[in-house]
Amino acid sequence: MRTVGAVLGLVGMVLGAGVGVAAADERADWGTAVSVGADSGSYTLLLENDQGFSLIALDPFATIQGAGLRQMTFSDIRPGDRIDYAVASWAGMDVAEMLHVTPRRHANAGR
């Protein structure tokens, strides 16, 4: 709960400071979920891809879509799922605004 408050506080500070989205560094990337913070009550994801590991904070109002474009919640994400995401960087922290989740059983089907 404390981490959720910290993330919400950071988002509030950024929005309250008048920093627009245009001033943020926005980018899209992907990764395989290694650890999902929903299990411990935090809004974070530890992801791994070809470039290494990324720790991503999830905007509590982020859009999360699953395979087949069905709506998902943060607690639906499991380690091993492929995550395609869009983030904005504020004060050195990556905050995800959109997630597209491909469950591990679908991501590994072609292998």
According to the model, what pLDDT value does residue 26 have? 76
According to the model, what pLDDT value does residue 64 have? 94
The helix (run of H) or strand (run of E) holding residue 93 is: strand 93-102
According to the model, what pLDDT value does residue 108 have? 59
According to the model, what pLDDT value does residue 18 have? 42
pTM for the model: 0.68
According to the model, what pLDDT value does residue 30 have? 94
How many CA atoms lie less than 13 Å away from 31 in the CB half-sphere?
25
Letter string b/e over residues 7-23, b meaning 16 or more CB atoms within 10 A of that residue's CB: beeebeebeeeeeeeee
Distances from the Cα of 80 to the Cαs of 19, 31, 45, 46, in angstroms?
35, 9, 12, 11
CB neighbourhood size of 69 (10 A): 7
Kindly give the confidence (pLDDT) of every residue in the chain, 111 residues in length, as a single tens digit, with 9 standing for 90 and above: 454 444 445 445 444 444 444 445 678 899 999 999 876 778 899 999 999 999 999 998 899 999 887 899 988 999 999 999 998 887 788 899 899 999 987 655 555
SS (H, E, C) 23-56: HCEEEEEEEEEEEEHHHCCCCEEEEEECCEEEEE
